[in-house]
Structure 1
């Protein structure tokens, strides 16, 4: 099995990155090494005149416990978006590199690649009219043919809600050993019944998993996500990261949230969302002009309509804002509806079905 760091851009293999004033673990009680303000701002109630720790040890330890990995396997950043960007920077040579995606999927993979000058190779998901699935053989063939160094799998898929089975992820990682990193974006993993791809990393070191606190943990506003992978690979990503990626108030809030909210409470919130997801999907299947409501392992449902614009307008007239995904490949008649609280879902049902189920 090849080392994933062998796939790092050749010009970055000796790249040390920027060493900030907080990079060195120095001890002292008078801190004059970072050109910070000597007196605090009037709004400061938590020491924010100081630069924050780039990767706070307490935070990484708690996140590692949450995701069942070692702290050195984990990089915390500004949502999963930053991890995607760092992976593209580290593994794709500008103007030469390539990534593989499976549309319709999360748009930031292609955005990050295009901003970096990397090609985007698309292997569309297969839609049989009832569900979406990923053609793993076609993905592997495309990655090898294009010399792509990154393959992005969104599982559960956004906006499709589908799962990529772990056996398929394992097979893909085996075929691409020494050729590409398989990135499994698990932003919605807590809402799925399938196990995490983190469980494969002990046997396949070219798998990176992305997780976020934005969904199940109800912390979207703090913008904190993680990349989990081989420790040497994570060390490279850290060297490519901005000096101070984690604002101190956000870190404090996350540490408090992870310490104060029992895991059982998070699970109860997820269970309620899953229950409402199934109720909403069942009711929407009775809506006039409904073509298809796809099965979902996420906190949303994807639906196709005879007239998606009329459905979108009806929801807006009822004060309900949903995601219009018609611009995405193959989804010209579809809307993505996030699962809300029971009363919010009742409004969706009333607007589209005409009565609350």
Structure 2
């Protein structure tokens, strides 16, 4: 199956839209740049001479660095301001207000529905269902039934978060492939892998190049905010067929990433940067194991949800009280009890050894 069908999925007016050609996008080379109305110097930061220049529309070195890291081609990669921007771009590019919808699978990351509402798209919720191993998994039959319902707004995008936020577990790979096969050319399946670096390397979901080759309807979201520790730089990536990336380039801002972000992200994707990330991931997993051991001995913990991420979700009897007790001691954890389909629960991020020591001091006995 080719990827030509994505051009039919895009919003109709985008088919004829010629994107804005910025100074950086339309011209290159030269030694004297007088085409972008930039200042000749950066007086406040003389040590950062490049900051007076607009950055690249899509920095070739950065996109190639991420393509090399993920085992892809650079034309399959679009860099953006975190994966949150990628979510928004996909909805803006493919969903007509009112007439089209995004599908979500609650409990899931809240920005899918919020971005859809912001753009006037409908939201179709197919909640996760309990599986044999007591985790929550995709209800593929329900999802495909809703996808094909002609009486409802047409679903253009299906957001699947794996590893899941807020649950922490992996979506079953077999169910995901069943969904992709069933969707065919009717929609795009957006696999949000913000926490992919915390998955065991043997998992089928880590290496995505084969999946993208087999399923042109698949779009993958990645970020440097989690394992790479660069949340403050705001750098993420949309990954998919070049035809999908071409459509997203029509709606992304002329200069999506500032120069400091491009420089920092590219350095983080160097061999040394990747090694440092992997060492931090190993340390995070050690601290996660410590947390799990402590929680298993707490009488107020009703359920520890399986985690393939840098956080642990736990069901408790009184989530507000636990959050408040920790907050009063200066330790912030998150109440996730408002998530649809979840009993009272809290989510605890994995910090440094010192931060976890402090958490253990303030948790209820």
Find the aligned partners of 2:97 and 2:16 in 1 and give their Cα distance: 17
Alpha-carbon shift at residue 167 of structure 1 (Å): 2.4
Corresponding residue for residue 280 of structure 1: 291
Which of 40, 43, 63 is 1:41 aligned to?
Answer: 43
Alpha-carbon shift at residue 171 of structure 1 (Å): 1.6
The normalised TM-score by structure 1 is: 0.94
The normalised TM-score by structure 2 is: 0.92
Find the aligned partners of 1:86 and 1:262 in 2 and give their Cα distance: 28
**Number of residue pairs the alignment of both structures matches:** 354
1:278-328 Cα deviation digits (max 9, x unpaired) = 221232122132111101111000011111111112211332101222222
The 5 Å alignment of 1:213-252 reads: 213-252=224-263
Find the aligned partners of 1:8 and 1:14 in 2 and give their Cα distance: 11
Contact map agreement 2:267 2:273 (CA 8 A) in 1: no
- Misfit runs of 4+, over 6 Å: none
Cα 1:138/1:198, change in 2 over 3 Å: farther
Find the aligned partners of 1:79 and 1:141 in 2 and give their Cα distance: 32
Corresponding residue for residue 139 of structure 1: 143
List runs of 5+ in structure 1 lacking aligned partners: none
Corresponding residue for residue 12 of structure 1: 14
Query: Is 1:299 aligned to residue 310 of structure 2?
Result: yes
Find the aligned partners of 1:30 and 1:205 in 2 and give their Cα distance: 42
Cα 1:100/1:198, change in 2 over 3 Å: farther
Find the aligned partners of 2:213 and 2:271 in 1 and give their Cα distance: 31
Q: Secondary structure at the match of 1:23?
A: helix
Find the aligned partners of 2:273 and 2:194 in 1 and give their Cα distance: 20
The 5 Å alignment of 1:1-357 reads: 1=1, 3=3, 4-44=6-46, 45-127=48-130, 130-145=134-149, 146=152, 147-193=154-200, 194=203, 195-196=205-206, 197-259=208-270, 261-354=272-365
Alpha-carbon shift at residue 34 of structure 1 (Å): 0.9
Alpha-carbon shift at residue 240 of structure 1 (Å): 0.9
Find the aligned partners of 1:318 and 1:5 in 2 and give their Cα distance: 54
Alpha-carbon shift at residue 272 of structure 1 (Å): 1.6
Segment of structure 1 superposing worse, 337-346 or 234-243: 337-346
Contact map agreement 1:285 1:292 (CA 8 A) in 2: no
RMSD: 1.7
List runs of 5+ in structure 2 lacking aligned partners: none
